[in-house]
Amino acid sequence: MLEFKVLTLFPEMVRAVLATSILGRAERQGQVRYTVTDIRDFAVDKHGTVDDTPYGGGAGMVLMAPCVVEAVEAVRGRADAPVLLTSPQGERLDEALTLELLGAAEAAGEIVVVCGHYKGVDERVRELIAPREVSIGDYVLSGGELPALVIVDAMVRRIAGVLHDGASAASDSFTVERGGGLDCPWYTKPPVYRDLEVPEVLMTGHHARIEQWRREQAQARTRERRPDLLPGSGGDAQPRR
């Protein structure tokens, strides 16, 4: 069983999402375990202080090194367990990185995810625990809880057996199985809605023709919306460490 250990200043926010939908079902079925730890439990004083003003001046507050480092050391069960830090300075999350992180986590049986907060974390956190920093996009949020939940969700749904139909995840946009491109259009009942009809090919039952149509539509949508994802485009490929 893979254990996700999330370190946060807002444990109730994180627990609420982890108990919901596919994430919650995966834990109830015994496929994963979630451990949520309050960083404030490792505060430097009785007042629960976890942040302070930056040395040298400047706006904002900085998450202190002792509480973060000691929280990681307390929950990390194995020396080879990956430790992630949500950060706008990190590698941008994509499907390839998701699978890479999942492989490392499954090998160790656990993964630690630290939710960054405030202006950032004391640089000594990076030096002492060497986390792998991950970003979910080129913007800044109020805290690292939402990015941490995005990372966990992206990983959990790719664990074998979590989704009722594993082929569904393999055919999503960005997946390695799809070649990194976008998904095709999908339709369901009714066959006609406000004079808009489901494409005829999907009603034929001819599986080879349907698959060809879906491939062509996926390629066309990728060319139109995300040409940077096409092979040889020199687009948004991220370096891997």
CB 135 within 8 A of CB 93: yes
47-69 residue pLDDT tens? 999 999 999 999 999 999 999 99
CB 94 within 8 A of CB 174: yes
Cα gap 151→196, rounded to integer Å: 37
Distances (CA, A) of 194 to 18, 109, 141, 150: 38, 51, 39, 35
Q: What's the whole-number mean pLDDT along residues 85-94?
A: 96
172-207 residue pLDDT tens? 777 766 678 999 999 999 999 999 999 999 999 999
Q: Which domains are seen in the chain, by residue range?
A: 2-156 (3.40.1280.10), 174-229 (1.10.1270.20)
